[in-house]
Structure 1
Amino acid sequence: MGRGSLRIHLGAAPGVGKTYAMLSEAHRRAGRGTDCVVAFAEPHGRPRTEALLHGLERIPYRDVEHRGAVLTEMDLDAVLARRPRVALVDELAHTNAPGSRNAKRWQDVEELLTAGIDVLATVNIQHLESLGDVVESITGVRERETVPDEVVRRADQIELVDMTPEALRRRMAHGNIYQPDKVDAALSNYFRPGNLTALRELALLWVADRVDAHLQRYRSEHEVSAIWGSRERIVVGLTGGPEGRTLLRRAARLAEKGAGGELLAVYISRSDGLTSASPGELVEQRTLVEDLGGTFHHVVGDDIPADLLAFARGANATQIVLGSSRRPAWQYVFGPGVGATVARDSGPDLDVHIVTHEEVAKGRGLPG
């Protein structure tokens, strides 16, 4: 038997219904005759979620005594012995009781997958390891239980369980998430509208990154040269001239218009080392790119339009931003400038923006 498949229900915030979504999926599969069991589910006393546990086989949990308290854990060995087709495992980031075979629940899930058992699992966005600092800055709460991002990224399927901040706060106010005595404190602290909006955006961007990574891998494996724009990715062609700062700010505004937009600045230098770019200007522009949340790239090549387009297509870019040429009009007798050539050869899948600036037609001095 091969490795099992992993489907993760990723919650944009606590209380959005990820456990409910997981149990609903289990009922759908069981209705088709699939052998599903609940290895561990945490309904948190929510009636609608608890109702969905009825009709599903549940593997008895394991009680572990620790420092005078009894902790309830998933019985991994019992699930492995039962060998269902599908096992439901809530809260991937959970830390197991001391003395358990594995320190974390996601490691238990790894054993189930290795045994050929498909797993339906849940985790909230705030428990992803790489987002710990960001979540703490948003909510003021440091999540102690985390799961490595790679564990979630490797999932065969990820379903984002989302809800608007307004709807989630209504659920909270109606007592559908926490007990009544905890509602006011939650609404005033963790569940403030600003917090929920930021967590939701974080979840959307994380999922968009995963989708983009899958697209990049697919394009590479299947040698796809066409651009598939899962989100806006904007390439800025820099020459080392002072107009670069204007181009970068314009491109950053374009990136901000699309959720998860990405900014990439590229400087192409000649292979013979001959260039009239200002090293100091390039250093300043590199710093500006990073301040704007983008990345700086240095490419060596002798055909600037072709090299720029190759970089853009390799990065799966959707737009290119270039400055108007600094060449005086008489020099056009020797051929079109970089901007005109890029626009001509870009094809239908790349938008090219030519941005005017104060250095237009003041003399070439720099490639462009």
Structure 2
Amino acid sequence: MSSVGYKIIKTVIFVSVFIILIGCNYDHQSAVNAVAKEPTKVSAWLAYWDLNAGEKDMKKLGKKLEKLSYFGAYFDSNDRLFIPQDLSDKRSELQKKKGNYETYLTFVNDKQNFDGSTVMKDTEVLRRLFSDDASVEKHIDEIIALTLRGGYEGIEIDYEKIWKDETIGQSFLHFTNKLYAKSQKNNLKLRVVLEPSTPFSSVNFIKGPEYVVMLYNLYGLHSTPGPKANKEFIQKTIARMEALPGEKSVAFSTGGCLWGENGEKKFLTEIEAKTLAAIYDCETRRDEESQCIVFDYKSKGVTYQVWYADVKTLNYWITIAKEQGVNHISLWRLGENVDIDKIK
């Protein structure tokens, strides 16, 4: 072949590839733009320790609420799952009102000890439950039985810190695969909540469950003062989520956190944060990158700093997510949120 002919073929191939890539990017951007214009699909968690305040927020959301997760079932001292009685009672009460939202029972790897104390995000209980196929099957059967007994439409798995140990992480995948298959046989939906540190691209998640990625705790009890999320954190995590198959959602956190120079740290609801600002007559400011509200105050010689989200913050985060093609938003959590009804 002559050098001229070779150059022509090379040029044709280059142009063809370029056109295909442009077309793909155009299609992707068109899909993203379409999502950005859609109404937000809102899910939320109702926590067992704040049921009455949570129900008030739920009523404010009204028809905007598409999915409600009851949080949650966890483990007793014998590694058996149980649901706090108050949560079961609230489920029975709300079930009679027949809301137009799907209901899920959330399972977490918190564990209650013999002395009544609780270990949060306990991976050792998971190590025991995932030790062999018989144990995994027993655990799955227990999850499905509790979900069906409560009349829920779906299961939500919120097991955390699992990727700190590769063995537990791979066992978790095996567990979720089996759970999804068995939930399908029982006409139950499955949501799997994942931490933002999950290695999405190197793990073979199956298509079928809805994957909900937590976009919070960028700063928190583990760190110095700062926002639970900001623009860069949201954008980078959603970009990494492209590796997840099927339906994808993101979760944002309401409320905020307090840090004291004496080492004190604790989470706050929006109302708790606003109350502190009012009591100490604080001048508040809005952080540009996160749109969180920030203020400082002094009490008994100790200086504190508070960062928290209001509805303007939440809507800012939601807009960033929608601009990247994610329209399913979950809110952690219901309870003491001032203008939650103004979520976009």
Query: Structure 2-normalised TM-score?
Result: 0.28
Larger strand fraction of residues? 2
Q: Which has the higher contact order (CA 8 A, sep 6+)?
A: 2
Of structures 1 and 2, the larger Rg is shown by 1
